[in-house]
Structure 1
């Protein structure tokens, strides 16, 4: 018995349209399906990441806030693999996204950097 791979990551946002635009238009994720669940007053948007993994973006009325800093207890951050971190850095800056400095992982010598989604969820880009 084993775990095969990560199936999906679920994110609850505070502003559905703003987050939908961010994940689709800025990060370039592809919509698989979008449904509105009347009984929950909630959207559920399934997004594809390069045909491999899925992000479920949810909206709920008045979701409670929680710490989302990389060093807070709980889920640390969402990370995406990229080919060229410098291109991504310039692209994000050109789309008015604040990014941290590119750093080097001391164990792998690979480049990485952080930025945040519209709700402050830390997102890492990691260059392989």
Structure 2
């Protein structure tokens, strides 16, 4: 390639949720994202929620009146999972379980030797927590 696209980084991840209130609660109250902006778009009967963490914009949550279910597991083509880096995986798992979430057993990445686990969001999107 002669010219490279001047990418800086990932700007955000957009998620369409089946139950807006439930997903909003999951990402804000359980995972701790802060609401940057929430807009109701009347013409689309749709909410758009912009979420940030530590002042950095990361996620958009969308609601639409009728959304088809997307296959998430077993390994379907498309977005595989959303991963968050954490400083203490044991503490993270304890907090998630305290908040009513099931977590897989902690595994070790065979290439980096780092520990990680998975849970799911309200629409069964796999959420990974990867220890720094």
Q: TM-score, normalised by structure 1?
A: 0.96
> Higher Cα Rg: structure 1 or 2?
2
- Does 2:30 correspond to 1:26? yes
Farther off after superposition, 68-77 or 42-51: 68-77
Report the Cα offset of residue 70 of structure 1. 6.5
The answer for the alignment partner of 2:107 in structure 1 is 103
Farther off after superposition, 24-33 or 69-78: 69-78
Listed as ranges, the matches of 1:1-128 within 5 Å are: 1-69=5-73, 71-128=75-132
Alignment length, in residue pairs?
128
Structure 2 alignment gaps of length 5 or more: none
1:78-124 CA distance string (max 9 Å, x none): 00000001101011111110110110001100000000000100000
Farther off after superposition, 44-53 or 19-28: 44-53
Provide the rounded CA distance (Å) in 1 between the counterparts of 2:27 and 2:97.
15
**3-state DSSP of counterpart to 2:130:** strand
Q: TM-score, normalised by structure 2?
A: 0.93
1:24-82 CA distance string (max 9 Å, x none): 00000010000000000000000002333410000001101111126211111000000
CA contact (8 A) 1:10 1:58 kept: yes
C-alpha root-mean-square deviation of aligned residues, in Å? 1.1
